[in-house]
Amino acid sequence: MTIKTYLQQLQKLLPNTWIEQIQYIHSSLLFRCILFLGSKPLTFSHKSTMVFSPHQDDETFGCGGMIANKREHGIQVVVVFLTNGQGAGGSQLNSHDKIIQIRKQEALTALEFLGVEPSKIHFLDKHDGHLQKLNHQERKETIEQVMYLIEFYQPQEIYVPHKKDCHQDHEATYELVKVAIAQAGITVDLLQYPIWLFWRSPLFILLKLQDIAAAYSLSITLVQEKKQQAIAAYSSQLESLPRGFINRFLGDYEIYFKAKS
């Protein structure tokens, strides 16, 4: 069974409420509008890269094509997961500890499809769902951990979730990494990847013209199959995410928004 067939079969099993159908149409329209009317093509760069991902799957959904593309050219890609992923949906039979282990293993498998070595994958294991609620000390420690990794790897590009991604952990990841970059004092290209932005937000209210002007599209046709395999590796998440939401990430383009670092 091919990966695509597997995903299609899986999706037939999932509920498809009218709300999800509306969200799917809405997010598809917004994605296409940005892609074909509002974005500039992102030229392939040989810059070394770090991807900061709040949960085990965001890096693959948002940046899987970019990661596979860079790894095929032998360019360093480091992936850092901020939370342990224990808040995920999926089978109720699993304990929190079990969910954490499952998601870590899925992340390693997904990133293997994309060509990232385990030594370049870091788990900061923060409590899932609490990145915006860290107390002063926890926030300071998290920023220092991120800063240490940035200083260690000296990336030329950093990818973070969009600052208005309609999810607390995602927006907090953007903020924490941005502060760490400033404290590290390095110059780096900062690119934001949208995960929930198109699905949850009334985009034209949330996004200002200057946000849309910073949109870039990356063609990932050559590595699309690798990305689909990596997405399929996250089987615990595919059970619980809306099928229209997953569909958007199976296509041949990724969208990024450049930010000022």
Choices 51-59, 63-71, 208-216, 230-238; region in contact with Zn ion by CB under 5 A: 51-59
Residue nearest to Zn ion (CB): 55
Shortest Cβ distance from residue 195 to Zn ion (Å)? 6
Q: Would you count residue 254 as binding Zn ion (CB under 5 A)?
A: no
Site for Zn ion (CB under 5 A): which residue of 49, 52, 56, 58? 58
Shortest separation between residue 54's beta carbon and Zn ion, angstroms? 5
Part in contact with Zn ion (CB under 5 A); list of ranges 54-62, 119-127, 145-153, 210-218: 54-62
Query: What number of other Cβ atoms are within 10 A of residue 148's Cβ?
Result: 12
Question: Closer CB to Zn ion, residue 2 or residue 105?
Answer: 105
Q: What are phi and psi of 251, to 5 degrees?
A: -80, -175
* Identity of the residue, 38 or 165, whose beta carbon is nearer to Zn ion in the bound complex: 165
For 114-178, give the DSSP string: HT--GGGEEEEEEPTT-GGG--HHHHHHHHHHHHHHHHHH--SEEEEE-TT-SSHHHHHHHHHHH
In this complex, which beta carbon is closest to Zn ion, that of residue 78 or of residue 172? 172
Interface residue with Zn ion among 39, 42, 55, 194 (CB under 5 A) is 55
Residue 54 binds to Zn ion (criterion: CB under 5 A): yes
Residue 16: other Cβ atoms inside 10 A? 13
The pair of structure tokens assigned to 82 is 């901020």
Alpha helix ranges (H) inside the chain: 3-13, 18-33, 58-72, 96-114, 136-153, 168-184, 197-200, 203-206, 209-213, 224-233, 235-238, 243-248
CB of 15 to Zn ion, least distance (A): 21
Q: Is 211 in the site for Zn ion (CB under 5 A)?
A: no
Nearest to 225 by CA among 4, 1, 5: 4
Contact set with Zn ion (CB under 5 A):
54-55, 58
